A and B are shown apart, each in its own frame.
Chain A
Amino acid sequence: MSTVSVRIPTILRTYTGGESEVKAEGATLRAVIADLEASHTGIAARILDDNGKIRRFVNVYVGDEDVRFADGLDTATPAGAQVSIIPAVAGG
């Protein structure tokens, strides 16, 4: 089992008891989100839409890589990886 750490954006911290960073298990992003849901009920539905896809306005990173440039939910999450979930806002 690979343990990763997940950075939680402010609007999801109600699900993690205010924690900004939590641990989760899983070899892919999909498995990590399932594990997050097991310990923080309701969080997966905020990240994924009704079809189980990453919501249009969420950016998810494994390390420095935007998973949309990698394999999406099938992106590998090696042990020790840093996963970040960030609302999509940009304009500069």
Chain B
Amino acid sequence: MAPTPVNDLTPAGNLGPATALVCRECGHRRELGAFYACEECFGPLEIEYDFGGLTRADIESGPANIWRYRGLLPVPANVADTPNTEPGLTRLVRADNLAEALGLQRLWVKDDSGNPTHSFKDRVVAVALAAARELGFKVLACPSTGNLANAVAAAAARAGIRSAVFVPSNLEQQKIITTAVYGGTFVTVDGNYDDVNRLASEIAGEQEDWAFVNVNVRPYYAEGSKTLGYEIAEQLGWRLPDQIVVPVASGSQLTKIDKAFQELIKLGFVEDKPYRVFGAQAEGCGPVSAAFKAGHDVVRPVKPDTIAKSLAIGNPADGPYVLDVVRRTGGAVEDVTDAQVVDGIRLLARTEGIFGETAGGVTVSVLKKLIDDGRLDPSAETVIINSGDGLKTLDAVSPVVAPSANIAPSLAAFRAAGLA
């Protein structure tokens, strides 16, 4: 069958080391361009590369953001020269207090709330923007559970192009405001994320020069999450952790962290050693966890009902691949209740001074559950991802945290309150 471009903007411009698009399901291969689903089987397309003679020194001499890994991404070599939000190289925090509270020997928190719009989504959007530019798109768009909305609106503002962002209307007020502030077209939709995603797919079929980062530019966009894996390895001194716990919505982030680790092994940048990948979901939207527990390799969609709105994707496109990764590496997918999500946020904040959003709460509480159940090795080096900022999900904790006291501005009042 003749190639069917999704728009007439192909062929691609300069996409760096990327060489082709390959279907994950059936292996069908095609040239680089604005394609996102296999024309044979609808399977998702993955990017293939030729990394040439890239070395660790090339990376180490690069900028202090994700572009140090540009030789591993579908972006041009001069990507850092065009205006972008320069995400990445967030802190890898040695979390001894949390480790002690949970009975772990060595634990790190990859704190991606430190990105420009305070979630890991700045990584994927930066790569999507660079690729969209090369592919000739004019508008940066997305359906979003909230964080992606922030990242797309901000990146487009910085790049000086139009954005078009679609979110469920019941999103946290903080995420509405932190999207609207950047200007651009911003639409709230009366439906859940899966409804918004469907709408975006339909609009993408009509608006040929709109790059919906996670729909018609998804093969490029998703590669941005690899940088989490690269950074963790580099920050550990070019080593892989033994265990990692990653939040799961569509499942893209988890599969790309694994892809990053595999690439680093193949390039000889880290020692080839076993590691285990664990996925974290909320009970009110745990379709991948349910499939894992049932031993299925397909994921049955659910209607989400959880305070972890950033993870509320009921029909996760990469769910089957999450199952593949966790089973291959000897990990698991687990879920926790909304009350445990809140406990997880508070535990991370109290022990490490890191205020994560609900997705972070999901991850911390799943970590605890896996340790308590004996499924995570307490003596093995462990990394967890805090993928977003608690300031965007204040409603989760506002009922349960408060000042210690309210007093008059006098020493007597301070003494009387018994706070000394």
A residues bordering B, Cβ < 8 Å? 7, 9-11, 13-14, 20, 46, 49, 55-59, 61, 64, 66, 68-69, 84, 86-92
Contact = CB atoms under 8 A, between A and B. Distances in A.
A49 B43 CA distance: 12
B144 interface: yes
Given A11-B6, A84-B198, A90 B205 contact: no
A85 to B, nearest CB: 9
Nearest to A47: B42
B317 A11 contact: no
A10 B204 CA distance: 9
Identify the 9 closest CB pairs spanning chains A and B, nearest first: A91-B250, A87-B37, A57-B42, A92-B145, A90-B317, A92-B144, A91-B214, A91-B252, A86-B201
B55 to A, nearest CB: 32
A90 B25 contact: no
Contacts of B204: 10
Contacts of A11: 4, 6, 35, 37, 39, 42
A90 B168 CA distance: 14
Nearest to B312: A92
Contacts of A92: 142-148, 193, 196-197, 214, 249-250, 310, 313
Interface in B36-59: 36-44
B301 interface: yes
A71 to B, nearest CB: 14
* Interface size band for B: 35 or more
Nearest to B1: A14
A90 B2 CA distance: 26
B240 to A, nearest CB: 24
Contacts of B187: none
B218 interface: yes
A14 B41 contact: no
A47 B100 CA distance: 52
Nearest to B40: A46
B41 A91 contact: no
Contacts of A13: 4
Contacts of A49: 41
B318 interface: yes
Given A69-B301, A92-B144, A92-B148, A87 B25 contact: no
B250 A55 contact: no
B4 A57 contact: no
Contact of B195 (A7, A57, A64, A69): A64
